[in-house]
Structure 1
Amino acid sequence: MYETTMTGSFFRTKEIEELLRKSSTGEIDNTHDHVIRSAESLAISDQLHPLGSKSGLTWVSNGEQRKSGYTTYIPNRFHGFSTKNRVSQKFSEAFYNELMEANPYLEKVIQDSKVFELPAIEDKLVYTGEKQSRKEAEDARKLAKELGAKRIFIPTPSPGVITVFYPPGKAYHDHEDYLFDLSRELAKEYRSILSVDGVDLQIDAPDLAMAKSLGVDWTEKFFDVLAKHVQAINDAIKGLPSERIRVHYCYGNYSASHLTDPDYSKVLPELLKLKAGTIVGEMANARHAGDPLIIRKHVKEYVWPKNIKFAVGVIDVKSPFVETPEAVSQKLHNVSDIDDIGEEHVLGGTDCGFETFSGMDGVPKNIALHKLKSLAEGAALK
């Protein structure tokens, strides 16, 4: 039987969405504790007992209920962002063309909106959010105990993914200066979360793959800086308990052809240099369902690190097709049957979160619950 988990964000309640729409910070403050607690309790319960089933996931999250997105709350926990000026990152024309080709109805929405605009950076960023991060972790610990969750984690961004969405402005000399300064500052959030016993940390690092897909304007090519992004994570978690740390990589939680995704055979060796205990990866959708073959080839030439577990994405969060338990089991065996890996190093997971940003989900909640039920049942098949 495999352990099971998902990737952080889950469907926010109507009350939470309303508060987030009114929030200027991307985060709900503590004056609404009762609403947050109710929403997080529901998110955890849905993971533990999808559709009322007796068994569900074994490693759950708080659903990111108090945040509008995994990166949008960042200005609320840092000093250095402008309170007036906003700016958008420059993504490649290839990315926009790929997105529009698959979703032509989005063209006018994107043209007429400021969806990618976020607070501009005016000065070097200094982390100030220890109290918020610790309280979030303490709340998660209490709910996990009350609801009977074996393990619970709090998602938080990697240093590199912040560089994806927030251009550095004139505060930093270059990309590397910006990246490693963020590494030093975000280490404070990581330590704050892990200071709460019984709570684990997930570092959301789509920069390790998605940044190539988006064509992010880093002034450097993706594969020239990928190793530095891994190092920035390792620097930030140095001295912290690796068995309580997971890192999630993905290619972007959006529906498109994903023809611009990076070559996994070049990404995988860098991922395996992470000092985290668990890697959470995207492998359920049609574009990346063949990635286990790349893993197999890599392991034949090298070895699988014995200190790293892999939460394999076996649930596609962008498709309404509900995987059968048998399909889940097969996808898990596609990785665990590889030499030197084995079931002890594999967990069942989802490709990404179900609601990465508030109100932006890929499938309806009821379908997501069916998917989680299949995940739990498939992981239990012999």
Structure 2
Amino acid sequence: MMIPTEPIGSLPRSRELLTAMADHQAGRTDDSTLRQVQERAVRDTVERLEAAGSPVVTDGEQAKPDFVTYPVAGTPGLSPEGVVIPFADGHHRQLPVLTAGPFRYKASAEQYLRAARQHTTAPVKQAVVAPSVLSLFYPPSGIPGFPREEFLHQLMGESEAEIRACLDADAHVVQLDFDEARLTLKLDPGGGVLNDLVDLNNQVLSRFTERERARIGVYCGPGADQDSTHSLDVDYAEVLPQLFRLTAGNFYLQLAGEADADRVLRVIAHQLRPGVRVFVGVTDPIDPRVETPEEVRDRVVRAARHIPVDQLGTCDDAGFAPFADDTSTSRETAFAKIRARVEGTALAAELLGG
């Protein structure tokens, strides 16, 4: 018996890469130098994932400024003063806001996928921003000459094209980062916003065949930035029924950091439908302590009491550094947690198979 295990996406950037990014932003170095450093960081990331035993690798988002704005970074028509995302420790992140149309991606995640594939023969997973997140860039007051309907039409087209390009480039899985799902219930407890965002994502997913959707997944969590979360206090039971309306074939769910994991697993089991695989989080990126393989094993066995093993997978609770400047977790700690996840999942598979 084998239980699949996958990373979520981001990994801490190396000191060399962070320095190169800061120098590039300040105009002290050129594009070519930055790309060379990024390539070294991607190669090192892939090699370390393989050394940790990870059966699926990623580029660790080493060349992304963050997991949200990478498609439109540097695009004219954006202002930095968009939606504010507050975190429990008091810090916040702020999304950009669109000031003019049209809406077009400047970069596609396909380029990150192809860069990672140059350094490995292992399956490569690619994380992409969900269209629902980018829809929050449109201002409530509207944009003269560029109605919201036209913006959403262009957004869905760009999102479809990015996902399809990654599938065509042989991505093992394309993961939509739907990180704002839980947060929306803090902003709108009635759930109307979450319902609309799920519908938007489903409109994009409907453009793919059932076989293609089997290679598309959705990640949902309470945020993980600078060792803090933005919505861990929101009840998962209020989110999951909406989340499982999505027609993706894989779901990646934060679980290790939950106070009552069994309760969440019961909700997942109630929503689970045939043909879907659920990857449960078994390591917590915002906890500096490295889990032991035995702890991971026990978490997997507990999940298997609720989720059929042939529909079960494991992952980390979140990416380790969704924003490039997040240095709260070292690369060494991140890869140690990944090794524990891989080894603990294998222990659980052996136990459950026996």
TM-score (normalizing by structure 1): 0.78
Matching residue of 1:235: 203
Matching residue of 1:305: 273
Taking a change above 3 Å as real, the CA distance of residues 23 and 227 of structure 1, as seen in their structure-2 partners, is farther
How far residue 373 of structure 1 moved from its aligned partner, in angstroms, is: 1.6
Matching residue of 2:113: 137
Taking a change above 3 Å as real, the CA distance of residues 167 and 333 of structure 1, as seen in their structure-2 partners, is farther
Spell out the pairing of 1:19-98 with structure 2 (5 A cutoff).
19-23=20-24, 32-50=34-52, 56-76=53-73, 81-82=77-78, 85-91=79-85, 95=86, 98=88
Give structure 1 stretches of 5+ with no counterpart: 51-55, 101-105
Instruction: Tell me how far apart the structure 2 counterparts of residues 221 and 19 of structure 1 sit (CA, whole Å).
Output: 42
- Does the 8 Å contact 2:72/2:106 carry over to 1? no
Matching residue of 2:101: 124
Taking a change above 3 Å as real, the CA distance of residues 206 and 119 of structure 1, as seen in their structure-2 partners, is closer
Matching residue of 1:355: 321
Taking a change above 3 Å as real, the CA distance of residues 362 and 344 of structure 1, as seen in their structure-2 partners, is farther
How far residue 29 of structure 1 moved from its aligned partner, in angstroms, is: 5.5
Instruction: Tell me how far apart the structure 1 counterparts of residues 31 and 20 of structure 2 sit (CA, whole Å).
Output: 9
How far residue 378 of structure 1 moved from its aligned partner, in angstroms, is: 0.6
**How many residues get paired?**
338
One of 268, 293, 314 as aligned partner of 1:325: 293
Matching residue of 1:190: 163
One of 353, 357, 369 as aligned partner of 2:335: 369
**Are 2:309 and 1:343 equivalent residues in the alignment?**
yes
CA deviations 1:254-304 (Å, max 9, x no partner) are 44586763221121112212222211111111xx242442332563xx562
Matching residue of 1:103: none
Instruction: Tell me how far apart the structure 2 counterparts of residues 233 and 259 of structure 1 sit (CA, whole Å).
Output: 21
Taking a change above 3 Å as real, the CA distance of residues 297 and 5 of structure 1, as seen in their structure-2 partners, is closer
Taking a change above 3 Å as real, the CA distance of residues 64 and 333 of structure 1, as seen in their structure-2 partners, is same
- Does the 8 Å contact 2:11/2:61 carry over to 1? yes
CA deviations 1:195-254 (Å, max 9, x no partner) are 2124431111112113334x3xxxx65611212212222222321511221211111114
Instruction: Tell me how far apart the structure 2 counterparts of residues 243 and 43 of structure 1 sit (CA, whole Å).
Output: 26
SS of alignment partner, residue 127 of structure 1: coil
How far residue 5 of structure 1 moved from its aligned partner, in angstroms, is: 1.3
Instruction: Tell me how far apart the structure 2 counterparts of residues 259 and 158 of structure 1 sit (CA, whole Å).
Output: 18
| Equivalent position amino acid for 1:185 in 2 | E
| Equivalent position amino acid for 2:127 in 1 | P
**Are 2:185 and 1:212 equivalent residues in the alignment?**
yes
| Equivalent position amino acid for 1:201 in 2 | V
| Equivalent position amino acid for 1:262 in 2 | V
Taking a change above 3 Å as real, the CA distance of residues 29 and 59 of structure 1, as seen in their structure-2 partners, is farther
How far residue 169 of structure 1 moved from its aligned partner, in angstroms, is: 5.5
Instruction: Tell me how far apart the structure 2 counterparts of residues 157 and 88 of structure 1 sit (CA, whole Å).
Output: 17
How far residue 33 of structure 1 moved from its aligned partner, in angstroms, is: 4.1
SS of alignment partner, residue 89 of structure 2: helix
Taking a change above 3 Å as real, the CA distance of residues 136 and 260 of structure 1, as seen in their structure-2 partners, is closer
CA deviations 1:168-219 (Å, max 9, x no partner) are 6632656x87656533332222122222124431111112113334x3xxxx
| Equivalent position amino acid for 1:140 in 2 | A
| Equivalent position amino acid for 2:275 in 1 | N
**Are 2:235 and 1:263 equivalent residues in the alignment?**
yes
- Does the 8 Å contact 1:80/1:125 carry over to 2? no
More strand by share: 1
Matching residue of 1:290: 260
TM-score (normalizing by structure 2): 0.83
Matching residue of 1:201: 174
| Equivalent position amino acid for 2:264 in 1 | I
| Equivalent position amino acid for 1:203 in 2 | L
